[in-house]
Structure 1
């Protein structure tokens, strides 16, 4: 009589962990993510490849999409910063022109001409400042978003703009498209611009992309 292990007439392995989809002794186990999902290297995209971690792509649950509160907060910070700059430069220009008008002698024969020249000077300076600030605004929004991925306001609230399919910085082409669409909307008494900035509320893709984001192929995520 044998006191060893009973015969196994079916030829099944006695170790239930071997031969049933489990790695054999000496073989490295397959890496598993929580929940039994294979990790990178088993048909899932690697970091840096398109689709990694972005909604709609094949890899991962996706990044943290920036909330509309953060996005509007960033826009408000940028707006306040520009308002302060506008106000300071405008005050300097107007003060200089008013000083020139005060130099006009009310008793002089050319007093009216002097006042008219001072008024024209004020208008010219205001027009020049508006043009300069518009250019500065373009360069600020365009270059900061394209090269850095965020304006100062976005950096302050911890969000940034990325390409929706790769997660990389938008680049100058996409950032220009993203900037020009709200600008065109502002020509309709500013109503179009407001609608563009509010349009992420109506996006049903899960990415909260505004109309300018969809046109540029970008999305805003939280750091």
Structure 2
């Protein structure tokens, strides 16, 4: 019999059988609480609190997560309202029951109001010109008859208070002319918006005022509410003019639907009818 050389291992080069430890090695003891999977079972994955469903991989760190059980609809915007939709030809907004509607541009809204000022202002100015002229002529004649200088006696004769009252009536008519103009402008705009959804100026520029909930004509109540919100504070000296100017510019402050403050109060939109 041949004697093996020193250091020769007869088990070297052979694979250990299943469950058999290699020669000279101690079997490894699993840690406490370790459950060995059965034959053919998949190895257990470590617990991941961010994992949504069984077997689903977690998203990379920093990926925004949706609320549990809620998926955003296609094209849905986050809380706070839909932003302006810029498309070819203008800016669009969604109206329930109507669909996508183009908003009126600020230039067309400005020109529409300018036309309305001429529509009401020019006839009013012509009428008031004749009224004030007649009032001035009558006041001058009344003052001359009530209190005047008599050249024969060299003294003033008549009642000076009556003459002052005649002059006060003329100045009252002249002072109330702007107030009357604003009142007529509000009545004209409220009735036209309430019944037609547009004034003559807005019709000329293809602009229309509609309800934001259904796209219909606002109605008389909302028409007066809209113009009252804008022109009501006009009675306050100085501050009223500032308020009207800010109302004109307020659509620029709204990045959702380009609503002015007067539109937000009565919930209306200014859209393009072209």
1:191 aligns to 2:242 (yes or no):
yes
Show the counterpart of 1:147. Answer: 195
User: What secondary structure is seen at the aligned counterpart in 1 of 2:198?
Assistant: coil
Q: Distance in 2 between matches of 1:91 and 1:150?
A: 29
TM-score, scaled relative to structure 2: 0.55
Gapped runs of 5+ residues in structure 2?
1-91, 151-156
Larger radius of gyration: 2
1:78-97 pair list within 5 angstroms: 78-97=116-135
1:1-223 pair list within 5 angstroms: 55-57=93-95, 62-103=100-141, 104=144, 106-108=148-150, 109-110=157-158, 112-113=160-161, 115-126=163-174, 129-130=177-178, 132-186=180-234, 187=236, 188-205=239-256, 207-223=257-273
Gapped runs of 5+ residues in structure 1?
1-53
CA contact (8 A) 1:97 1:118 kept: no
TM-score, scaled relative to structure 1: 0.66
CA contact (8 A) 2:98 2:215 kept: no
Richer in helix (by share): 1
Question: Between Structure 1 and Structure 2, how many residues are aligned?
Answer: 169
Richer in strand (by share): 2
User: What secondary structure is seen at the aligned counterpart in 2 of 1:167?
Assistant: coil
Q: Distance in 1 between matches of 2:98 and 2:215?
A: 13
User: What secondary structure is seen at the aligned counterpart in 2 of 1:93?
Assistant: helix
Shift of 1:55: 2.6
Shift of 1:156: 1.4
User: What secondary structure is seen at the aligned counterpart in 1 of 2:195?
Assistant: helix
Give me the CA root mean square deviation.
2.5
Question: Structure 2 vs 1, CA of residues 134 and 60 (structure 1 numbering), >3 Å: closer, same or farther?
Answer: closer
Question: Structure 2 vs 1, CA of residues 161 and 193 (structure 1 numbering), >3 Å: closer, same or farther?
Answer: same
Q: Distance in 2 between matches of 1:60 and 1:111?
A: 71
Shift of 1:209: 1.0
The one-character-per-residue Cα deviations of 1:85-119 (angstroms, maximum 9, x if unpaired) are 34223322221122124421543512744542331
Show the counterpart of 1:7. Answer: none
Shift of 1:81: 2.8
Shift of 1:129: 4.5
Question: Structure 2 vs 1, CA of residues 118 and 107 (structure 1 numbering), >3 Å: closer, same or farther?
Answer: same
User: What secondary structure is seen at the aligned counterpart in 2 of 1:107?
Assistant: strand
CA contact (8 A) 2:116 2:201 kept: yes
